[in-house]
Amino acid sequence: MEMPIAHVNGKDNNPTQSVLIMHIALQGCLKAGSIPYGLTADTGGHIRYLLELVEALSDRPEISHQIIVTRAFDAPHLGEAYNRLEEQISDKVTLWRFRGYSSAYLPKEEIWKELPHLTDSLLRKMQQRNIKPNLIHAHYADAGVVAMRLKAALAIPYVFTGHSLGATKAQHRPANSALGNDLKRRIRYEEITIKHADSVIASSEHEAQVQYGMYRYHDASKILLNPPGCKLGIIRLNASKTVGGQVDSELKRFLKEPNRPCLLAIARPVEKKNLCALVRAYGEHPKLRYNANLVIYAGTRIGIESGEPEACRVWTQLLQLIDDYDLYGYVAYPKYHTLDQIPAIYQWAVKRQGVFVNPALNEPFGLTLLEAAAAGLPVVTTREGGPVDILGRCGHGLLVSPTDIQAIGDACRRLISSDLEWQRYSSRGYRNVDYYTWSRHAEQYVSDMRFPISECPAAPGIRQVSQILATDMDGTLLGDKVGLTRLAAWLALNRQCLFIVATGRSLTAALSELTAWASPLPDFLITDVGSAIYRLDPRGQPQLITSWHRRLSKGWRRAECERLLCRHPGLVPQPQDTQSDYKLSFFTRNTQTSTLAATNGFNHTRRPVAWHDETIKEEVEQALASVGLAARVVYSHGNLLDILPESSGKAHAVDFLRERFNIDRDEIIAAGDSGNDIDLLQYAAHGIVVANHSSELKRLQHSSSLYWAKTEYAAGVLEGLQRLEIRGKWIEAGDGHDFTKILG
């Protein structure tokens, strides 16, 4: 039976509802309805990611239909559904299955043999039905090979999500072991998929920079950092008494003292999940053994020997360790669980003040950590991969080395033995995890793929805007609480004004300062001296504008700039937390510089470099130019030097947003106090220099577009705004408000 598809060849007359996306995911058991996660080694997180992504995209008005392409196989022991050639998941999602040379279920290592036949069958069906998607999304590298051929044949762009990369797996193999043919092939497929992909979606900073960075064809300008979501509401709902009772009864079958705190792990039985290390950590830590239980949900199984080879190995090792340490009565390892039992499992652990443990050798992201956060369950997790990002945002647990057995045990013991610490981590996770929603992910997905909708990255709740106020943070916006309160009142009255804060600080530091001062939240936050742009939702949650980074990547050679400038005796690298992929930061110091040879990139006479002498900036600019490195050099506050992409800086970042909102250049006002505000003050149609400005701004004193305030900090910004209102140069009062009387 042919299923209905709402969009064919882009002929829908409504440009905001004409997008057809084709997802290709060939591994595991994929079907409509409930998925038996863990049924096979390849039926895991990537399938859940795909189905929840598809569901979220279906709610977007821009997406007319989605097709999921997977492999058909005849395996009655796994279920009858997987042999059907077509299945309707929803009115906007259709599942296509294609048969290969073999009718058997195949693990991911063997799917490569099927790719030519599967691709030919898919092409034939698309041509027969006259279907040409706007975008193909390949999940895993075998799907990437299919997408690459479709791109060559039909000129359809494709985006790639690696989920779990072969190069990362190779990195965690024993040093004396050779790469097998399967892993070599996987890495080769990933290389060519990355090379030809139009974009690559990464779930974490670690995956974007480190994991994809191991590939020869890695291109930072293609990377779209977009963390996946998690169905948090389901986790937070109290499980029904029936389901909760099922979980409780099953676990009590294993445990002598079921009311002890528990260490909970939920993972597939594969070696990279490192579950054996958790059993060893528990077995070798006396205080854990006598004060906590261990609960492991490792997929579903009929029997140990009936599973796939890797799962058999892992389960055999787990049972051997349980026997070696004599853990019977203190370890639970149920054979089966359903998706609707997951909330009840977390809630069972929370009730006993337990800890969720993920000791994976590498975790590309870590959805279970989000589930634990939503349930209020603290975590102990690997420091390898995405968990670093998640704990950085949610702050609900401890990071450990996955190979340090003692550290895993000590971290678990620490959390279950301190009520205060447990409660602190529990409340942090519950409070901070709301950033990870599929609706946010889908919104960014649509924006990143540049579908035929407005490209304006407007944050939720943003008004119709016609003007921009862009202000520096430290020393300009912040510094005077009374002035800040009055400026906040002005912003509340002038809702037509897009409020932008531009700072040299990192995102984390900037948000911390804004919170500490109880500042009004900006619509957009420009950080790292213009090298990153975030929009803030009404709760203050940031979302990176990735298209800005794609623009900055062109011609940016950070590593070469760093190698050159680290040899300069007048420069000292700033701490690592102030550095970023698009910003290289130094302190300047008073020293002699002539000892460097011309071959090192510096050729100048002996002279002191004073902390307040901008000749250091000129010197660095000349050195970079002499070896052909294009970069922007920003000197501020007498001893700070930032090296940025040539097209970066606060002014360029504000102009990027101005273009997106289609705001006239004459309607921009900027405020600042130091040297890293010069480009912004010169760019804006109207500028305000607060009274506490540094001497670096004196060279702008003859500029006719600047107002030099007599008051400091936010009060100076407000003084300048009121001056412009009186002169009628910028803001229209509107609504009959007399701002001078209202603000005093």
Tens digit of each residue's pLDDT (9 = 90 or more) over 696-724 = 788 888 888 899 999 999 999 999 998 88
- Nearest by Cα to 170 from 162, 154, 182: 182
Position 594 pLDDT exceeds 80:
no
Beta strands at 331-332 and 293-297: parallel, antiparallel or unpaired: parallel
- Nearest by Cα to 569 from 585, 545, 588: 588
636: pLDDT confidence band, cut at 50, 70 and 90? confident
Position 739 pLDDT exceeds 70:
no
Position 596 pLDDT exceeds 60:
no
Mean per-residue pLDDT, 621-638: 81
- CA dist., res. 623 & res. 601, Å (int): 5
11: pLDDT confidence band, cut at 50, 70 and 90? very low
**Stronger pLDDT, 575 or 183, i.e. the higher one:** 183
pLDDT value of residue 737: 34
Position 370 pLDDT exceeds 90:
yes
Position 5 pLDDT exceeds 70:
no
729: pLDDT confidence band, cut at 50, 70 and 90? low
- Nearest by Cα to 349 from 243, 265, 249: 265
Position 98 pLDDT exceeds 90:
yes
399 residue type, one letter: L
**Stronger pLDDT, 551 or 282, i.e. the higher one:** 282
Instruction: Give the number of residues written for the chain.
Output: 744
Q: What is the token pair recorded at 322? A: 């349980």
Contact predicate 22/67, CB 8 Å: yes
Alpha-carbon torsion, ordered 119, 121, 127, 128, to 10 deg = -170
Position 637 pLDDT exceeds 90:
no
pLDDT value of residue 587: 86
Lowest pLDDT segment from 400-409, 513-522, 694-703: 694-703
Position 478 pLDDT exceeds 50:
yes
pLDDT value of residue 9: 39
- CA dist., res. 587 & res. 570, Å (int): 8
* 568: Cα separation from own chain's centroid: 35
pLDDT value of residue 334: 94
Which domains occur in the chain, in start order?
15-225 (3.40.50.2000), 234-435 (3.40.50.2000), 456-551+649-743 (3.40.50.1000), 556-644 (3.90.1070.10)
**Stronger pLDDT, 529 or 131, i.e. the higher one:** 131
Lowest pLDDT segment from 83-92, 198-207, 410-419, 592-601: 592-601
Position 660 pLDDT exceeds 50:
yes
pLDDT value of residue 13: 37
In terms of average pLDDT, the best of 192-196, 527-531, 554-558, 670-674 is 192-196
Query: What strand order describes the sheet that includes 93-98?
Result: 86-90, 93-98, 63-71, 19-24, 135-139, 158-161, 199-202, 223-225
Contact predicate 432/394, CB 8 Å: yes
Position 732 pLDDT exceeds 50:
no
pLDDT value of residue 607: 39
- CA dist., res. 93 & res. 6, Å (int): 10
Mean per-residue pLDDT, 97-121: 93
251: pLDDT confidence band, cut at 50, 70 and 90? very high
Task: List Cα–Cα distances, 22 to 57, 112, 154, in angstroms.
Answer: 12, 20, 13
Q: What is the DSSP string of 476-503?
A: TTBS-HHHHHHHHHHHHH-TTEEEEEE-
Position 550 pLDDT exceeds 80:
no
* Average pLDDT across the chain, whole number: 84
Task: List Cα–Cα distances, 247 to 181, 251, 345, 371, 433, in angstroms.
Answer: 42, 6, 7, 17, 25
Helix (H) or strand (E) holding 202: strand 199-202
- CA dist., res. 583 & res. 580, Å (int): 5
For residue 210, the 8-state DSSP code is I
Question: pLDDT tens across 321-344, in order?
Answer: 999 999 999 999 999 888 789 999
**Stronger pLDDT, 105 or 565, i.e. the higher one:** 105
pLDDT value of residue 4: 40
- Nearest by Cα to 693 from 720, 669, 675: 675
Mean per-residue pLDDT, 640-669: 87
For residue 60, the 8-state DSSP code is S
463: pLDDT confidence band, cut at 50, 70 and 90? low
Question: pLDDT tens across 13-35, in order?
Answer: 343 447 999 999 999 999 988 88
- Nearest by Cα to 725 from 681, 669, 655, 657: 669
pLDDT value of residue 727: 62
Query: What strand order describes the sheet that includes 467-472?
Result: 542-544, 532-536, 524-527, 497-502, 467-472, 668-672, 686-689, 706-708
Helix (H) or strand (E) holding 722: helix 713-727
Lowest pLDDT segment from 224-233, 538-547, 677-686, 696-705: 538-547
Predicted model pTM: 0.55
326 residue type, one letter: D
Give 507's Cβ-side CA count (13 Å radius). Answer: 17
* 260: Cα separation from own chain's centroid: 36
